Amino acid sequence: PMVEFLNFEVLEDHGWALEDEALFEKAGDANLQSTDFGRFYVDPNDTLLEAAEKNGFAWPFACRGGACTNCAVAVVEGEMPSPASHILPPELTEKGIRLSCIAAPVSDNAKIVYNLKHLPEVSELLL
């Protein structure tokens, strides 16, 4: 799968909303740094976090086991199934929030906002 990614801190800096349908278009026009906005390919069998690291990106994590939410991302477009065992409550998985250390996109293309640990609903779960 090809993943297009955007740093959540950019949303905060620009006052953009996760729900904004034109979010990635705005990001494309904003001259962002290559660590904040870009794309990479996820090899089969890699988690999204592993794929980011293989491509040279330092995305947040701590436990690597679905237990801390430091690695949370929001799936804006595409499919990224969530394994059964993890710390995220249903209210967040229903909104498309996933843990990048234990999951990966399965659709050919996905749009992902990483660094979601700064979203208030996620940061209150941080361990």
Residues within the interface to ligand FES (CB under 6 A): 61-64, 66-71, 99, 101
Nearer to ligand FES, 71 or 74 (CB): 71
What residues have CB less than 8 Å from 20, skipping those under 6 apart? 26
Nearer to ligand FES, 6 or 88 (CB): 88
Query: From the CB of 56, what's the least distance to ligand FES, in Å?
Result: 19
Query: From the CB of 83, what's the least distance to ligand FES, in Å?
Result: 11
Phi and psi at residue 27, to the nearest 5°:
-60, -40
Place of tokens 């050919």: 108
Query: From the CB of 28, what's the least distance to ligand FES, in Å?
Result: 28
**Intra-chain end-to-end CA distance of the chain, in Å:** 30
Nearer to ligand FES, 24 or 69 (CB): 69
What residues have CB less than 8 Å from 58, skipping those under 6 apart? 35
